[in-house]
Amino acid sequence: MSTHAASSESRIPVKGLLPAELENLLAAEGAPRYAAGQVFSWLYAKKAESFEKMTDLNRALRARLTAGYTMKEAALVGEQAGTDGTRKLLIRLNDGERVESVIIPDEKRSTLCLSSQCGCVRGCAFCATATMGLHRNLTAGEIVEQALIAARIMPVTNAVFMGMGEPMDNFDAVMRAVQILTSQKGFGLGARHVTVSTVGVVPGILRMARERIPAGLTVSLTAPDDELRSTLIPANRTWPIAQVMEACRKWSDTMERDVTLAYVLMAGVNDSPRHSMALAKLARKARAKVNLIPCNPARGFLPPPDTRVYEFQTELKASGVLALYRRARGGDIAAACGQLVVSGGHRTGLKAEISAAGGKTPVAANGKSRTAGSGKKVKARA
Ligand code: SF4
Protein backbone atom coordinates (compact mmCIF):
# COMPACT_ATOMS: atom_id res chain seq x y z
CA MET A 1 0.00 0.00 0.00
CA SER A 2 1.37 3.36 -0.99
CA THR A 3 1.62 5.91 1.80
CA HIS A 4 0.79 8.92 -0.36
CA ALA A 5 -2.70 10.25 0.22
CA ALA A 6 -5.39 8.80 -2.05
CA SER A 7 -8.48 10.78 -2.94
CA SER A 8 -11.28 10.10 -0.43
CA GLU A 9 -13.31 8.33 -3.18
CA SER A 10 -10.58 5.75 -3.77
CA ARG A 11 -10.03 4.97 -0.09
CA ILE A 12 -11.40 1.72 1.22
CA PRO A 13 -14.13 2.05 3.87
CA VAL A 14 -13.42 0.28 7.16
CA LYS A 15 -16.69 0.98 9.00
CA GLY A 16 -19.05 -1.96 8.87
CA LEU A 17 -16.29 -4.57 8.80
CA LEU A 18 -16.49 -7.31 11.43
CA PRO A 19 -13.38 -8.10 13.54
CA ALA A 20 -12.27 -11.06 11.39
CA GLU A 21 -12.53 -8.93 8.24
CA LEU A 22 -10.56 -6.13 9.89
CA GLU A 23 -7.92 -8.68 10.81
CA ASN A 24 -7.51 -9.66 7.13
CA LEU A 25 -7.39 -6.05 6.05
CA LEU A 26 -4.77 -5.13 8.65
CA ALA A 27 -2.74 -8.25 7.94
CA ALA A 28 -2.39 -6.97 4.37
CA GLU A 29 -0.87 -3.83 5.90
CA GLY A 30 1.62 -5.90 7.88
CA ALA A 31 -0.11 -5.28 11.22
CA PRO A 32 -0.24 -7.91 13.99
CA ARG A 33 -3.52 -9.81 14.59
CA TYR A 34 -4.27 -7.94 17.81
CA ALA A 35 -4.38 -4.63 15.92
CA ALA A 36 -7.83 -5.59 14.56
CA GLY A 37 -9.28 -5.59 18.08
CA GLN A 38 -7.64 -2.23 18.75
CA VAL A 39 -9.06 -0.65 15.58
CA PHE A 40 -12.53 -2.16 16.21
CA SER A 41 -12.56 -0.69 19.69
CA TRP A 42 -11.31 2.72 18.48
CA LEU A 43 -13.99 2.85 15.78
CA TYR A 44 -17.06 1.95 17.84
CA ALA A 45 -16.30 1.89 21.59
CA LYS A 46 -13.96 4.89 21.77
CA LYS A 47 -15.64 6.52 18.77
CA ALA A 48 -12.41 7.89 17.32
CA GLU A 49 -12.90 10.29 14.43
CA SER A 50 -9.59 9.64 12.67
CA PHE A 51 -6.92 6.96 12.39
CA GLU A 52 -4.48 9.45 13.86
CA LYS A 53 -6.41 9.33 17.15
CA MET A 54 -5.72 5.57 17.45
CA THR A 55 -2.65 6.19 19.54
CA ASP A 56 -1.87 2.59 20.48
CA LEU A 57 -1.25 1.75 16.80
CA ASN A 58 2.26 2.48 15.63
CA ARG A 59 2.75 5.68 13.71
CA ALA A 60 3.59 4.00 10.38
CA LEU A 61 0.38 1.92 10.47
CA ARG A 62 -1.70 4.98 11.27
CA ALA A 63 -0.16 6.75 8.28
CA ARG A 64 -0.89 3.81 5.97
CA LEU A 65 -4.50 3.63 7.19
CA THR A 66 -4.97 7.35 6.71
CA ALA A 67 -3.59 7.15 3.19
CA GLY A 68 -5.53 4.15 1.97
CA TYR A 69 -8.70 3.86 4.03
CA THR A 70 -11.64 5.98 5.08
CA MET A 71 -13.68 5.84 8.28
CA LYS A 72 -16.17 8.59 7.43
CA GLU A 73 -19.38 7.24 5.95
CA ALA A 74 -21.71 10.18 6.49
CA ALA A 75 -22.00 13.66 7.96
CA LEU A 76 -24.60 15.45 10.05
CA VAL A 77 -26.02 18.27 7.91
CA GLY A 78 -29.17 19.27 9.78
CA GLU A 79 -30.79 18.91 13.15
CA GLN A 80 -34.18 19.73 14.66
CA ALA A 81 -35.18 19.58 18.32
CA GLY A 82 -38.76 18.91 19.40
CA THR A 83 -40.27 20.30 22.58
CA ASP A 84 -40.31 16.81 24.11
CA GLY A 85 -36.53 16.47 23.71
CA THR A 86 -36.72 14.42 20.50
CA ARG A 87 -33.92 15.24 18.04
CA LYS A 88 -34.25 14.62 14.34
CA LEU A 89 -30.95 14.35 12.48
CA LEU A 90 -30.49 14.82 8.76
CA ILE A 91 -27.48 12.83 7.64
CA ARG A 92 -25.76 13.13 4.27
CA LEU A 93 -24.10 10.03 2.88
CA ASN A 94 -20.91 10.27 0.85
CA ASP A 95 -22.76 10.03 -2.49
CA GLY A 96 -25.10 12.91 -1.56
CA GLU A 97 -28.10 10.78 -0.58
CA ARG A 98 -29.72 11.77 2.71
CA VAL A 99 -31.42 9.87 5.49
CA GLU A 100 -33.01 10.83 8.78
CA SER A 101 -32.39 9.36 12.24
CA VAL A 102 -34.22 10.28 15.42
CA ILE A 103 -33.02 10.32 19.03
CA ILE A 104 -35.83 9.88 21.55
CA PRO A 105 -34.68 10.53 25.11
CA ASP A 106 -36.72 9.74 28.20
CA GLU A 107 -35.88 9.62 31.90
CA LYS A 108 -33.92 6.41 31.88
CA ARG A 109 -32.68 5.92 28.34
CA SER A 110 -32.26 7.46 24.96
CA THR A 111 -33.38 5.43 21.98
CA LEU A 112 -32.00 5.95 18.51
CA CYS A 113 -34.33 5.25 15.60
CA LEU A 114 -32.09 4.13 12.71
CA SER A 115 -32.69 4.18 8.97
CA SER A 116 -31.70 1.09 7.00
CA GLN A 117 -32.52 2.32 3.49
CA CYS A 118 -32.72 5.63 1.69
CA GLY A 119 -36.46 5.51 0.95
CA CYS A 120 -38.46 2.30 0.85
CA VAL A 121 -40.20 0.19 -1.74
CA ARG A 122 -42.88 -1.33 0.50
CA GLY A 123 -45.49 1.38 -0.04
CA CYS A 124 -47.34 1.34 3.31
CA ALA A 125 -50.36 3.62 3.12
CA PHE A 126 -49.69 5.52 6.37
CA CYS A 127 -45.95 6.11 5.93
CA ALA A 128 -44.25 9.22 4.54
CA THR A 129 -41.07 7.31 3.63
CA ALA A 130 -43.12 5.27 1.17
CA THR A 131 -43.64 8.38 -0.98
CA MET A 132 -39.90 8.49 -1.77
CA GLY A 133 -39.67 5.08 -3.40
CA LEU A 134 -36.36 3.32 -2.87
CA HIS A 135 -33.19 5.25 -3.67
CA ARG A 136 -30.78 2.63 -2.36
CA ASN A 137 -29.82 0.37 0.52
CA LEU A 138 -27.51 1.69 3.21
CA THR A 139 -24.23 -0.08 3.93
CA ALA A 140 -23.51 -1.43 7.41
CA GLY A 141 -20.98 1.37 7.81
CA GLU A 142 -23.59 4.01 6.98
CA ILE A 143 -26.01 2.48 9.49
CA VAL A 144 -23.44 2.38 12.28
CA GLU A 145 -22.30 5.90 11.39
CA GLN A 146 -25.81 7.15 12.28
CA ALA A 147 -25.27 5.75 15.79
CA LEU A 148 -21.82 7.30 16.08
CA ILE A 149 -23.15 10.70 14.98
CA ALA A 150 -26.04 10.45 17.46
CA ALA A 151 -23.68 9.44 20.27
CA ARG A 152 -21.81 12.71 19.80
CA ILE A 153 -25.07 14.52 20.59
CA MET A 154 -26.14 12.41 23.58
CA PRO A 155 -25.41 8.92 24.94
CA VAL A 156 -27.36 6.25 23.05
CA THR A 157 -28.67 3.38 25.21
CA ASN A 158 -31.04 1.65 22.76
CA ALA A 159 -31.42 1.35 19.00
CA VAL A 160 -34.47 0.44 16.94
CA PHE A 161 -34.60 -0.09 13.19
CA MET A 162 -37.79 1.91 12.74
CA GLY A 163 -36.51 4.79 10.65
CA MET A 164 -36.53 4.94 6.87
CA GLY A 165 -36.65 1.60 5.09
CA GLU A 166 -37.64 -2.02 5.65
CA PRO A 167 -34.66 -3.62 7.45
CA MET A 168 -35.36 -7.12 6.08
CA ASP A 169 -34.96 -5.75 2.53
CA ASN A 170 -31.35 -4.89 3.43
CA PHE A 171 -30.76 -7.93 5.59
CA ASP A 172 -27.00 -8.43 5.34
CA ALA A 173 -26.07 -4.81 6.06
CA VAL A 174 -28.61 -4.48 8.89
CA MET A 175 -27.52 -7.67 10.64
CA ARG A 176 -23.86 -6.74 10.26
CA ALA A 177 -24.68 -3.37 11.86
CA VAL A 178 -26.60 -5.19 14.64
CA GLN A 179 -23.48 -7.23 15.43
CA ILE A 180 -21.36 -4.09 15.71
CA LEU A 181 -23.96 -2.21 17.76
CA THR A 182 -24.48 -5.09 20.20
CA SER A 183 -20.81 -6.10 20.54
CA GLN A 184 -19.37 -5.23 23.94
CA LYS A 185 -16.05 -4.53 22.19
CA GLY A 186 -17.89 -2.42 19.62
CA PHE A 187 -20.71 0.08 20.19
CA GLY A 188 -21.67 -1.89 23.30
CA LEU A 189 -25.48 -1.76 23.41
CA GLY A 190 -26.12 -5.47 24.02
CA ALA A 191 -28.75 -7.71 22.40
CA ARG A 192 -31.57 -6.62 24.74
CA HIS A 193 -31.21 -3.03 23.61
CA VAL A 194 -31.41 -3.37 19.83
CA THR A 195 -34.65 -4.13 17.99
CA VAL A 196 -35.31 -4.86 14.34
CA SER A 197 -38.76 -3.84 13.14
CA THR A 198 -40.43 -5.26 10.04
CA VAL A 199 -43.77 -5.06 8.28
CA GLY A 200 -43.72 -8.86 8.20
CA VAL A 201 -41.14 -9.97 5.65
CA VAL A 202 -41.34 -13.64 6.58
CA PRO A 203 -38.04 -14.87 5.02
CA GLY A 204 -36.19 -12.20 7.01
CA ILE A 205 -37.87 -13.15 10.31
CA LEU A 206 -37.02 -16.82 9.77
CA ARG A 207 -33.45 -15.97 8.79
CA MET A 208 -33.02 -13.87 11.94
CA ALA A 209 -34.03 -16.94 13.95
CA ARG A 210 -31.87 -19.33 11.94
CA GLU A 211 -28.80 -17.12 12.29
CA ARG A 212 -29.64 -16.26 15.90
CA ILE A 213 -29.20 -12.56 15.26
CA PRO A 214 -28.74 -10.87 18.66
CA ALA A 215 -31.65 -8.42 18.54
CA GLY A 216 -35.31 -8.13 19.47
CA LEU A 217 -38.09 -8.34 16.89
CA THR A 218 -41.06 -6.04 16.36
CA VAL A 219 -43.64 -6.75 13.66
CA SER A 220 -45.82 -3.90 12.50
CA LEU A 221 -49.21 -5.64 12.37
CA THR A 222 -51.53 -2.62 12.29
CA ALA A 223 -54.57 -4.58 11.13
CA PRO A 224 -55.85 -7.90 12.45
CA ASP A 225 -57.41 -9.20 9.22
CA ASP A 226 -55.88 -9.75 5.79
CA GLU A 227 -58.39 -7.70 3.85
CA LEU A 228 -57.72 -4.51 5.79
CA ARG A 229 -54.00 -5.19 6.29
CA SER A 230 -53.40 -5.62 2.57
CA THR A 231 -54.80 -2.13 1.94
CA LEU A 232 -52.50 -0.59 4.57
CA ILE A 233 -49.39 -2.77 4.20
CA PRO A 234 -49.03 -4.18 0.67
CA ALA A 235 -46.43 -6.75 1.88
CA ASN A 236 -49.43 -8.55 3.41
CA ARG A 237 -50.40 -9.74 -0.08
CA THR A 238 -47.13 -11.69 -0.20
CA TRP A 239 -47.04 -12.77 3.43
CA PRO A 240 -50.53 -12.86 4.93
CA ILE A 241 -51.11 -12.64 8.67
CA ALA A 242 -51.14 -16.41 9.33
CA GLN A 243 -47.68 -16.79 7.76
CA VAL A 244 -46.32 -13.79 9.66
CA MET A 245 -47.65 -15.11 12.96
CA GLU A 246 -46.16 -18.54 12.33
CA ALA A 247 -42.78 -16.96 11.60
CA CYS A 248 -43.09 -14.93 14.82
CA ARG A 249 -43.70 -18.13 16.81
CA LYS A 250 -40.65 -19.76 15.26
CA TRP A 251 -38.49 -16.73 16.03
CA SER A 252 -39.84 -16.58 19.56
CA ASP A 253 -39.25 -20.30 20.21
CA THR A 254 -35.71 -20.18 18.81
CA MET A 255 -34.63 -16.97 20.49
CA GLU A 256 -36.59 -17.58 23.70
CA ARG A 257 -37.83 -14.02 23.56
CA ASP A 258 -41.26 -12.50 23.11
CA VAL A 259 -42.03 -10.76 19.86
CA THR A 260 -43.68 -7.33 19.93
CA LEU A 261 -46.59 -6.48 17.65
CA ALA A 262 -46.75 -2.79 16.76
CA TYR A 263 -50.25 -1.58 16.03
CA VAL A 264 -50.58 1.86 14.45
CA LEU A 265 -54.04 3.10 15.42
CA MET A 266 -56.00 5.08 12.81
CA ALA A 267 -59.36 6.60 13.66
CA GLY A 268 -62.26 4.86 11.96
CA VAL A 269 -59.91 2.42 10.20
CA ASN A 270 -58.61 -0.15 12.69
CA ASP A 271 -59.64 1.07 16.16
CA SER A 272 -63.00 -0.60 16.85
CA PRO A 273 -63.72 -3.20 19.58
CA ARG A 274 -63.99 -5.77 16.78
CA HIS A 275 -60.39 -4.97 15.83
CA SER A 276 -59.11 -5.15 19.41
CA MET A 277 -60.76 -8.56 19.87
CA ALA A 278 -59.19 -9.93 16.68
CA LEU A 279 -55.80 -8.44 17.60
CA ALA A 280 -55.96 -9.98 21.08
CA LYS A 281 -56.57 -13.40 19.56
CA LEU A 282 -53.50 -13.08 17.31
CA ALA A 283 -51.29 -11.73 20.10
CA ARG A 284 -52.25 -14.54 22.49
CA LYS A 285 -51.49 -17.15 19.87
CA ALA A 286 -48.08 -15.62 19.09
CA ARG A 287 -47.39 -14.98 22.83
CA ALA A 288 -46.69 -11.38 21.81
CA LYS A 289 -47.06 -8.11 23.59
CA VAL A 290 -48.65 -5.19 21.75
CA ASN A 291 -47.38 -1.64 21.37
CA LEU A 292 -50.21 0.73 20.51
CA ILE A 293 -49.02 3.72 18.49
CA PRO A 294 -51.58 6.36 17.50
CA CYS A 295 -50.78 7.25 13.89
CA ASN A 296 -49.15 10.50 12.96
CA PRO A 297 -50.97 12.45 10.32
CA ALA A 298 -48.34 11.92 7.64
CA ARG A 299 -50.61 10.67 4.85
CA GLY A 300 -54.08 11.86 5.77
CA PHE A 301 -54.91 9.27 8.45
CA LEU A 302 -55.89 10.64 11.85
CA PRO A 303 -55.16 9.19 15.31
CA PRO A 304 -58.13 8.17 17.48
CA PRO A 305 -58.84 10.38 20.50
CA ASP A 306 -56.81 9.50 23.62
CA THR A 307 -59.89 8.08 25.32
CA ARG A 308 -60.37 5.54 22.52
CA VAL A 309 -56.69 4.52 22.65
CA TYR A 310 -57.06 3.81 26.40
CA GLU A 311 -60.27 1.86 25.75
CA PHE A 312 -58.53 -0.17 23.04
CA GLN A 313 -55.69 -0.89 25.48
CA THR A 314 -58.19 -1.94 28.18
CA GLU A 315 -59.96 -4.25 25.74
CA LEU A 316 -56.64 -5.96 24.96
CA LYS A 317 -55.70 -6.26 28.62
CA ALA A 318 -59.11 -7.72 29.45
CA SER A 319 -58.35 -10.40 26.86
CA GLY A 320 -55.11 -11.29 28.61
CA VAL A 321 -52.70 -9.38 26.35
CA LEU A 322 -49.91 -7.13 27.58
CA ALA A 323 -50.56 -3.87 25.74
CA LEU A 324 -48.53 -0.68 26.05
CA TYR A 325 -49.60 2.73 24.86
CA ARG A 326 -46.63 4.32 23.08
CA ARG A 327 -47.29 8.01 22.93
CA ALA A 328 -46.09 9.68 19.77
CA ARG A 329 -42.78 11.49 20.22
CA GLY A 330 -41.34 14.18 17.98
CA GLY A 331 -44.59 14.89 16.15
CA ASP A 332 -43.88 18.64 16.13
CA ILE A 333 -40.74 18.10 14.03
CA ALA A 334 -42.16 15.32 11.81
CA ALA A 335 -39.86 12.86 13.57
CA ALA A 336 -42.51 10.45 14.78
CA CYS A 337 -43.25 6.98 13.43
CA GLY A 338 -44.14 7.05 9.74
CA GLN A 339 -43.16 10.68 9.26
CA LEU A 340 -39.56 10.38 8.06
CA VAL A 341 -39.00 11.51 4.51
CA VAL A 342 -36.25 13.28 2.61
CA SER A 343 -38.06 14.98 -0.22
CA GLY A 344 -36.35 14.89 -3.58
CA GLY A 345 -33.43 12.78 -2.36
CA HIS A 346 -30.06 14.41 -3.11
CA ARG A 347 -30.87 18.04 -3.43
CA THR A 348 -33.53 18.85 -0.89
CA GLY A 349 -34.04 17.52 2.61
CA LEU A 350 -33.92 19.56 5.78
CA LYS A 351 -30.86 21.67 5.06
CA ALA A 352 -32.03 22.66 1.60
CA GLU A 353 -35.49 23.40 2.96
CA ILE A 354 -33.96 25.66 5.59
CA SER A 355 -31.87 27.37 2.97
CA ALA A 356 -34.85 27.79 0.62
CA ALA A 357 -36.80 29.29 3.50
CA GLY A 358 -34.05 31.87 4.06
CA GLY A 359 -33.04 30.24 7.32
CA LYS A 360 -36.61 30.19 8.59
CA THR A 361 -38.55 27.19 9.77
CA PRO A 362 -39.37 24.86 6.87
CA VAL A 363 -43.00 24.79 5.81
CA ALA A 364 -44.76 21.53 5.05
CA ALA A 365 -46.84 20.93 1.95
CA ASN A 366 -50.03 21.46 3.93
CA GLY A 367 -48.90 25.02 4.65
CA LYS A 368 -48.21 24.39 8.31
CA SER A 369 -44.83 25.16 9.80
CA ARG A 370 -42.90 21.93 10.34
CA THR A 371 -41.96 23.20 13.78
CA ALA A 372 -44.85 25.60 14.23
CA GLY A 373 -45.34 26.78 17.74
CA SER A 374 -43.53 23.91 19.31
CA GLY A 375 -40.24 22.86 17.72
CA LYS A 376 -37.41 24.50 19.63
CA LYS A 377 -34.82 25.14 16.99
CA VAL A 378 -33.63 24.29 13.53
CA LYS A 379 -29.93 24.06 12.87
CA ALA A 380 -28.19 23.53 9.61
CA ARG A 381 -24.65 22.26 9.45
CA ALA A 382 -22.12 22.46 6.73
S1 SF4 B 1 -43.69 1.62 7.19
FE2 SF4 B 1 -41.60 0.82 6.93
S3 SF4 B 1 -41.83 -0.76 5.36
FE4 SF4 B 1 -43.68 0.49 5.23
S5 SF4 B 1 -43.20 2.05 3.65
FE6 SF4 B 1 -42.66 2.92 5.66
S7 SF4 B 1 -40.49 2.50 5.90
FE8 SF4 B 1 -41.26 1.13 4.29
Please compute, for residue 130, the number of CA atoms within 13 A of its CA located in the half-sphere on the CB side.
15
Q: How confident is the model at residue 337 (pLDDT cuts 50, 70, 90)?
A: low
The rounded percent of the chain whose pLDDT value lies above 90 is: 79
Per-position DSSP letters for 238-281, written without gaps between them: TS-HHHHHHHHHHHHHHHTS--EEEEEE-TTTS-SHHHHHHHHH
What is residue 342's predicted lDDT score, i.e. its pLDDT? 76
Please check whether residue 361 is in contact with residue 80, taking contact to mean a CB–CB distance below 8 angstroms: no
Q: Where in the chain is the domain with CATH 3.20.20.70?
A: 74-333
Total number of residues shown for the chain: 382
What is residue 365's predicted lDDT score, i.e. its pLDDT? 27
Write down the CATH number for the domain with range 74-333: 3.20.20.70
Q: Where in the chain is the domain with CATH 1.10.150.530?
A: 8-70
pLDDT beyond 70 at 378: no
Ligand 1 centre distance from Cα of residue 240 (Å): 16
- Helix 273-286 to helix 241-255 angle (10° resolution) is 40
Q: Relative to the CA of 127, which ligand 1 atom is closest?
A: 6
Pocket of ligand 1 (CB under 6 A): 120, 122-124, 127, 129-130, 164-166, 199
Query: Average pLDDT, stretch 98-127?
Result: 95
Q: What fold, for 8-70? A: DNA polymerase; domain 1 (1.10.150)
Q: What is the pLDDT of residues 167-180, one digit of tens each?
A: 999 999 999 999 99
Least confident of 37-41, 124-128, 175-179: 124-128
pLDDT beyond 50 at 40: yes
Nearest CA to ligand 1 atom 7: 165
- Given 23, 73, 79, 100, the catalytic residue: 100
Nearest alpha carbon to residue 232 among 260, 259, 266, 282 = 266
Beta pairing, strands 216-220 & 260-265 = parallel
Q: What is the pLDDT of residues 215-258, one digit of tens each?
A: 999 999 999 999 999 999 999 999 999 999 999 999 999 999 99
Residue 270 CA, distance from chain mean position: 25
Helices H / strands E in the chain, number of each: 11, 15
